[in-house]
């Protein structure tokens, strides 16, 4: 794990937003991430909330567009946002598609060459980035939550369901709920993973719940009904049915008039931060 390289820092709601780079062993390249430190971090260890962004985004997108810092400052929560994939790895074709390769790591560990040498976002987020944050920032290791949008919503749901010992809270905004059954997921899994589609189910939130992976707590999901990707790519109804059958507590809220953008995300950001604070900020 390489040493941390500060890139820039900005004052924000009494705290700071910082951008950092470090050498990643999991991804065999330099990775970037951002951290919002609330004012309380100057005096004590604070809970950590990880945000996983969607296709084409970077570690900067959430900090600029999400509108989360005000609410994180109120609750005393650190916000951490990794990049969405390795970059500039030299893999042929990694920059050809907006929904595969660069900016589209899908928060899984690739098993197919040449992607397996670098595209290991699952290990990066759950192990390497988490350890980097704990070692370099005033973070509480016993109070960590995770949420995300679209591809990142898929990541947040699957990482939480597979690692209930790491994450105390989880939520998602317009997540890809059933990636093994939609074009985005089939393209990504078909490129990154081996041809046996049965193994893909371990990276699908709907299939994980069907297989008995239950999160200890309520999952919050918000979905806009004017989302241009709702019908073809997101499948919230499949996840809803799986949770009902498995008795997984789920709050799935549908909102008329809202699309897939950060206008939608920022509208419901306060409620998502509050959802996590209810679990993370308990004594």
Q: Is position 260 annotated as part of the catalytic site?
A: yes
Distance CA 147, CA 68 (A): 12
Check residue 108 and report its DSSP letter: S
Among residues 27, 54, 5, 191, the alpha carbon closest in space to that of 117 is found at: 27
- Specify the DSSP element, H or E, that contains 7: strand 5-12
Distance CA 148, CA 155 (A): 7
The residue annotated as part of the active site, out of 260, 272, 275, 276, is 260
Contact (CB, 8 A) for 56 and 43:
no
User: Which two tokens mark 28?
Assistant: 């065999």
Distance CA 33, CA 1 (A): 14
Contact (CB, 8 A) for 251 and 219:
yes
Q: Is position 118 annotated as part of the catalytic site?
A: no
Distance CA 14, CA 70 (A): 9
* SS3 state at 275: helix
Q: Is position 149 annotated as part of the catalytic site?
A: no
The residue annotated as part of the active site, out of 24, 34, 85, 150, is 150
Q: What residues contact 90, with CB distance under 8 A and at least 6 apart?
A: none
User: Which two tokens mark 190?
Assistant: 């078909």
Distance CA 75, CA 47 (A): 9
Is the preceding omega at residue 146 within 30 degrees of 0, hence cis? Answer: no
The residue annotated as part of the active site, out of 227, 272, 275, 276, is 227
The neighbour count for residue 208, using CB atoms within 10 Å, is 23
Residues labelled as active-site residues:
150, 227, 260
């Amino acid at each position: 794990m390489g040493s941390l390289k500060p890139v820039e820092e900005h004052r924000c709601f009494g705290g700071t937003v910082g951008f950092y780079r470090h050498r990643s062993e999991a991804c065999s390249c330099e990775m970037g991430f951002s951290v919002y430190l609330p004012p309380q971090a100057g005096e004590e260890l604070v809970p950590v909330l990880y945000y996983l962004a969607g296709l084409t985004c970077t570690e900067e997108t959430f900090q600029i567009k999400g509108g989360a810092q005000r609410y994180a400052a109120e609750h005393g929560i650190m916000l951490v946002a990794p990049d969405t994939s390795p970059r500039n790895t030299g893999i042929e074709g990694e920059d050809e598609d907006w929904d595969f390769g660069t900016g589209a790591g899908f928060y899984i560990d690739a098993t197919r060459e040449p992607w397996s040498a670098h595209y290991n976002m699952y290990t990066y987020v759950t192990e390497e980035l988490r350890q980097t944050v704990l070692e370099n920032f005033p973070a509480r290791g016993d109070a960590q939550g995770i949420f995300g949008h679209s591809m990142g919503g898929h990541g947040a749901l699957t990482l939480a369901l597979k690692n209930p010992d790491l994450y105390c809270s989880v939520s998602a905004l317009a997540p890809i709920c059933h990636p093994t059954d939609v074009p985005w997921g089939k393209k990504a899994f078909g490129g990154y993973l081996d041809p046996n589609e049965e193994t893909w189910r371990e990276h699908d939130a709907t299939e994980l719940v069907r297989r008995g992976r239950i999160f200890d707590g309520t999952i919050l999901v918000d979905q806009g009904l004017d989302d241009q990707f709702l019908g073809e790519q997101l499948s919230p109804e499949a996840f809803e049915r799986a949770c009902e059958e498995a008795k997984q507590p789920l709050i799935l809220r549908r909102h008329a008039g809202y699309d897939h953008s950060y206008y939608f995300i920022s509208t419901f950001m306060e409620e998502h931060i509050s959802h996590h604070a209810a679990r993370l900020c308990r004594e």
